[in-house]
């Protein structure tokens, strides 16, 4: 979430650059009021446009302060609020006006991670998945860190053939104790295996020999990552025209939990390939 906000802010900064300079209202100072747990320098480090030496633009300031509120919440201050800025325009002798910005902050209490549990996991032991967590009980609660943990688990499941696996984080916030208990609910589905591997369209390719060069094999667990490495390996052989992911049809059969792979490749040289004719 924070990465998405950052990207939007950077894009908005580029698009609004001309407007910012057209206003020619420099920012003289930015101060925060009400912040006790998070020091002002750290808050200022989160800003890209709304800072001393920048150019004042009300919309950009509002957008950045929204991102600052998200930063607070991801540091465990789940009820933190960043209020509307108070902007005072002060005259600059011979240079027009400059903006002095004061930002009210209500931090609230800092929440910690309570219990972290995993339910309905079969493909991996819950203890193994919990060891991947960047957060431990008692540490400041961070939704972005738990989201990254979830992504790692999804990747691990995909490498084991669970390509339909879905995961959902469920929070239970305890206001009195200021802790958040979290459950990661796993809907694994079946582990998919590689079905048929075919190479249509060119009789000069010995299919049996071609299959031996692959890092995925019929009957084995389907791993999308290994398919990508396979294309890299084949391209390094320089026996075919460059093979892109679009040259491989991936046909998923949910009924049989299999994945058929159809390689559309073209040998660089006419006649029998280095694998020999069929």
The CATH number of residue 198's host domain is 3.10.20.310
User: Which residues in the chain come in under a pLDDT of 50?
Assistant: 2, 7, 11, 14-15, 17-22, 271-278
Question: What pLDDT is stored for residue 201 in this prediction?
Answer: 83
Residues 172 and 131 in one domain: yes
Does the residue 75 lie in any domain?
yes
User: According to the model, what pLDDT value does residue 202 have?
Assistant: 82
Q: How many domains does the chain have?
A: 3
Domain span holding position 144: 112-187
Q: Are 209 and 247 contained in the same domain?
A: yes
Query: Can you give the pTM of this predicted structure?
Result: 0.77
CA distance 195 to 200: 16
pLDDT of residue 203: 84
Out of 168, 187, 206, a domain closes at: 187
| Residues 199 and 252 grouped into a single domain | yes
Within-domain flag for 269: no
37 occurs within a structural domain: yes
Instruction: Specify if 274 maps to a domain.
Output: no
């Amino acid at each position: 979430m924070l990465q998405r906000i950052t990207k939007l802010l950077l894009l908005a900064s580029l698009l609004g650059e001309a407007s910012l300079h057209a206003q020619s209202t420099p920012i003289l100072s930015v101060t925060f009021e009400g912040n006790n747990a998070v020091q002002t320098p750290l808050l200022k480090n989160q800003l890209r446009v709304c800072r001393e030496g920048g150019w004042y633009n009300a919309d950009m300031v509002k957008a950045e302060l929204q991102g600052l509120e998200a930063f607070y919440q991801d540091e465990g201050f789940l009820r933190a609020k960043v209020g509307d800025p108070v902007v005072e325009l002060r005259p600059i002798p011979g240079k027009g006006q400059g903006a002095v910005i004061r930002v009210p902050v209500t931090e609230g209490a800092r929440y910690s991670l309570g219990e972290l549990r995993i339910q309905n996991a079969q493909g991996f032991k819950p203890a193994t998945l919990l060891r991947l967590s960047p957060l431990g009980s008692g540490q400041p609660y961070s939704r972005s860190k738990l989201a990254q943990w979830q992504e790692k688990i999804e990747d691990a499941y995909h490498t084991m053939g669970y390509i339909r696996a879905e995961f959902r984080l469920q929070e239970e916030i305890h206001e009195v104790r200021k802790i958040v208990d979290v459950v990661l609910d796993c809907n694994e589905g079946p582990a998919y295996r590689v079905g048929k591997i075919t190479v249509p369209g060119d009789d000069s390719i010995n299919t049996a020999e071609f299959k031996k060069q692959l890092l995925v094999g019929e009957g084995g667990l389907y791993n999308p990552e290994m398919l990508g490495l396979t294309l890299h390996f084949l391209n390094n052989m320089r026996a075919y025209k460059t093979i892109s992911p679009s040259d491989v049809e991936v046909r998923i059969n949910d009924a049989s939990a299999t994945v058929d792979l159809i390689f559309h490749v073209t040998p660089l040289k006419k006649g029998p390939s280095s694998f020999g004719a069929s």
